[in-house]
Structure 1
Amino acid sequence: MKHSLLRLMVLRKLGYRGSRAAKKRILFNILLISLVVASLVFAQIFVISMSRGIADKYALLGNGHLQVHETGELDLEPIQGILDTQLVAQSYALIYSPQANKMVRLKGVGSDYFNEMRLSQLTMGAQETSEETNLPQILLSTTLAEELEVEVNDRVALMLVSQSSIRPQLCVIRNLYDSGYQELDGNLVFCDYDLMHRLFGGKEETYYELLVEQSRMKIIKQELAAKGYSVTSWDEENYSVATNLNTSRQAVLVVMVAVAILCGYFISELSRELVEDDKHKIAMLTLLGARKVFIRKVYFTTVMLVTMISVGAGTLAGMVLANNLGPVLAYIADQSIPSLAYYLLDFVIVIPVLDILLIIVVLALVSMVSVRWSLRMVKVIEPLACTHFD
């Protein structure tokens, strides 16, 4: 009987067979809370996905997941989880065009370097008919080509600096690539591995670049180190980038949790409104023998049901919006907005389940505490109060 009465009263508070004004108030609060939760979920998904996308760009195109600093043969047979191994060389050079110049990282790679995994992270330009030339060929990004004001088949000069001399090397642009992240593209130039060795005479940095399964990266690194190899990971090679990404993720999560706390406090305002509007009814229920504990339970259950419905709808809306973000990002990327040059607008959407759960749990806990605190006002409503509202 008690549970049936509780259910009936909660349904009435939710607008079932209630007045139109009561229904509108409940629906308005559900919509408002849902919008806040959807914004929190969407923002967290966006930031985490973009951060992981940037990390993937640096791992697949910049340095590989792992780097083994050896020039001899590697013993990789017993190790599972290694997807690709490439011997690469790198150094730094000034690149000159008739209009501009820039210091770049010159990376020498083999003919099979751009496999399916790496090609998935970039877009190659349409291969134009190459002019007959004996000059070395290089691969530039569209970002760097715009800075230098050059195109495919144009000639540029690489200024090679060594301890003993400075000499130029004329090269031809074979093609252009675009990874979608201008911060990386603007400094990375690819060339043939043998060309690097010939230009720098063995003074370039040579290492093995490994692509591995993400879940086994730490294990593989430990196994290689146990064999006596000098091994580093992409985040160690790009410490400032990795640190900035981690800091950004943590800072955004803190902000999202703080907003969730404020939202949880706002939810208590709904309980205050319900109690304030129902003072007459609460006083009447008290006269009829209802315990104030039961009355508080009715309002608490009502508000928490509204909260859970809103959280569920908002979370679902945020995920749906994030998963359909691709066309919008593609349009923004095509606009080439200068202020977005340091942001990645081409990435795979990742759902950070733990982060979303943390936000939802914090919001729910703060809501429960704040609603219980606000319902203390039920205690001060005395039966005689009904006479003031008749």
Structure 2
Amino acid sequence: MSDLIRFITTRKLGFGANRATKRRVFFNLTLIALVVAILILAQIFVVSMSQGIADKWAYLGDGHLQLYLGLDNPLPTDPRIVDIQRVGEVNGLLYSPQDNKMVRIKGVEKSYFTGVRKEQVTFTATADIPTTLPTIQVSKTLAQELGIEVGQRLALMLVSDDAIRPQLCFVDTIYDSGYRELDETLVFCDISFLERLFGSSIGQHHEIITTAKQMRSLRADLTSQGYVLSSWEEQNPALSANLATSREAVLGVMIAVAILCGYFISELSSQMVEDDKARIATLRLMGIRPLVITRSFFLTVMSITVISLGLGTALGILFARSLPPILAKVASRSFVALSFYLLDFPIRIPTFDILIIVSVLLAASAISVHLSLRRVSSIEPLSCVRFD
């Protein structure tokens, strides 16, 4: 970079300039940074919520992987397996004095709600009343829909592949996972209760908990060892597709907004040229080539853009990190409009998505600024006399 380009660029950035120039640079930098922060925050929020929903289904609904053991297969041992639990499932119709509902009855062992699963669910009420009836655990959502209270007796019609069994049950616990779509149909009970009613006719398998990153590699390795497995995505294809589509759609919207932001930045360069017509004409009159002036303005605008991108990205991540306590307070208020959304999820930083948004904005800005600065060459050297 020549000394002249460096001098013009630093002056345009406000170094050694008057207060009005510094205010204009600060305003533009702040405005771009806020737009970038909102883009980054929105993408982090959507990705974190989508992954949070996937985690709820994996930990409580189906496990990351479902293992169907043959007669000759022992339980697999692998360091990537965080937890493995035997479960049984049947469908059922739950009756209450207020209403009835088709539910999914999931039989689990006493060690089911431990470790990582315990972190995904909150037990809001537990009965201390002794009972000889089979106990069930219903969700807070289901309890509100059916008017159920802890300690209440309910009629339950259980249906397996080849048998129907009516049963009077005792509501032992009310749980809340934070995700309504999962909670409103899922009822837990002891697996021994289902085995006593249906014997071997209940659908039994083992749920494997691992990490989302290791799920596919673990499945491939276990399959090569002769195990039969399926994933939670295969068990819930519509949900999995919706989560992937929503993430891609929001990323597409963020990219479109980033392109529009690039156009706004080009307007910034056009305004700079318009405000500095007299100075540009004077520089042309001094024999400075239009290319030097164009490069100076380009470096000025892109410097503001890069600084704004850095600040905006940092602010977006900082805002996202502060979301969990805010979302927890919102969730505790039980707003009806937000009842179908998961608000209890850890924040995950989608590095690849952020890089895409930042890269698109930077490229769109560079192209639009380059095109807008072509008007510098059209400013005649003697046009400065109009401004004397």
TM-score, length-normalised on structure 2?
0.96
Name the residue aligned to 1:199: 197
User: What residue in structure 1 maps to residue 153 of structure 2?
Assistant: 155
Tell me what 2:12 maps to: 13
List aligned pairs for 1:1-390, cutoff 5 A. 3-70=2-69, 72=71, 74-77=73-76, 79-129=78-128, 131-161=129-159, 166-390=164-388
Alpha-carbon shift at residue 8 of structure 1 (Å): 2.1
Length, aligned pairs only: 388
Distance 2:306 2:161 in 1: 67
- Deviation digits for residues 85-135 of structure 1, max 9, x if unmatched? 111100110101111111110000011111111001111124342x23211
Q: How far does the alpha carbon of each residue in 1:274-304 deviate from its partner, in whole angstroms, 9 at most, with x for none?
A: 1111111111111111111100011001000
CA distance in 1, matches of 2:70, 2:134: 24
Q: Quick check: 2:125–2:175 contact (8 Å CA) kept in 1?
A: no
In 1, Cα distance between the equivalents of 2:165 and 2:83?
35
Q: What secondary structure sits across from 2:4 in the alignment?
A: helix
Do the aligned partners of residues 158 and 128 (structure 1) sit closer, same or farther apart at CA in structure 2, a change above 3 Å counting? closer
For residues 304-333 of structure 1, what are the alpha-carbon distances to aligned partners after superposition, in whole Å with 9 as ceiling and x for unaligned? 011011111111111010000112101111
Contact 1:256 1:359 in 2 (8 A): yes
Decide whether aligned partners of structure 1 residues 216 and 177 sit closer, same or farther in structure 2, where only a CA change above 3 A counts.
same
8 Å Cα contact 2:163-2:198 kept in structure 1: no
CA contact (8 A) 2:90 2:160 kept: no
Q: What SS does the corresponding residue of 1:214 show, helix, strand or coil?
A: coil
Residue 28 of structure 1 deviates from its aligned partner by 1.4
Structure 2: which amino acid aligns with 1:282?
I
Q: Secondary structure at the match of 1:228?
A: coil
Residues 37 and 315 in structure 1, CA contact (< 8 A), matched pair in contact too: yes
| One-letter code aligned to 2:39 | L
Unaligned regions of 5+ residues in structure 1, if any? none
**8 A Cα contact 1:221 1:231, kept in partner:** yes
Deviation at 1:78, TM superposition (A): 5.5
Shift in alpha-carbon separation, 1:308–1:386, aligned structure 2, 3 A = same
How far, CA to CA, are the matches of 2:42 and 2:305 in structure 1? 20
- The alpha-carbon distance between structure 1 residues 386 and 163, as it changes in their structure 2 partners (threshold 3 A), is closer
SS of alignment partner, residue 169 of structure 2:
strand
| 3-state secondary structure, aligned to 2:132 | coil
Deviation, 1:203, is 2.2
Q: Give the 3-state SS of the residue equivalent to 2:82 in structure 1.
A: strand
Evaluate the alpha carbon distance shift between residue 41 and residue 162 of structure 1 in structure 2; reply closer, same or farther with a 3 A threshold. closer
1:16: how far off? 2.3
**Structure 1 residues 73 and 153: alpha-carbon distance in aligned structure 2, compared to 1, 3 A threshold:** farther
Root-mean-square deviation over aligned CA pairs: 1.6
3-state SS of 1:315 partner: helix
Does the 8 Å CA contact 1:158/1:171 hold for their aligned counterparts? Answer: yes
Corresponding residue SS for 2:69: coil
Q: In the alignment, is the contact (CA less than 8 A) between 2:81 and 2:209 conserved in 1? A: yes
Q: 1:296 to 1:162 in 2, by over 3 A?
A: closer
Residue identity opposite 2:223 in structure 1:
A
Taking the aligned partners of 1:330 and 1:377, their CA distance within structure 2 comes to 53
TM-score, length basis structure 1: 0.96
Query: Residue by residue, what CA displacement relative to the aligned partner does 1:14-72 show, whole Å, maximum 9, x if unpaired?
Result: 22232332222211111111111000000000000011011111001001110012364
Decide whether the 8 Å contact of 1:70 with 1:206 is kept in 2: no
Using the TM superposition, give the Cα deviation of residue 77 of structure 1 relative to its aligned residue in structure 2, in angstroms: 4.8
Q: Render the CA deviation track for 1:174-221: whole Å, top value 9, x for unaligned.
A: 111111111101110000001111223432211111112333221221
SS at match of 2:84: strand
Classify the secondary structure of the residue corresponding to 2:343: coil
Q: Mark the runs of 5 or more structure 2 residues left unpaired by the alignment.
A: none
For 2:92, give the aligned amino acid: A
- How far, CA to CA, are the matches of 1:162 and 1:44 in structure 2? 43
Retained in 2: the 8 A contact 1:71–1:207? no
CA distance in 2, matches of 1:132, 1:370: 73
C-alpha separation in 2, matches of 1:298 and 1:327: 46
For residues 112 and 226 of structure 2, the distance between their equivalents in structure 1, rounded to whole angstroms, comes to 26
Counterpart Cα distance in 1 of 2:70 and 2:64: 18
How far off is 1:167 after superposition? 4.2
Change (3 A) 1:349 1:110: same
CA offset digits 1:327-379 (Å, max 9, x no partner):
21011111212222221100000000010010000000110010010000001
1:183 touches 1:341 (CA, 8 Å); kept in 2?
no
AA of the residue aligned to 2:277? K
For 2:163 and 2:196, the matched residues in 1 are separated by 15
| In 2, Cα distance between equivalents of 1:144 and 1:283 | 74
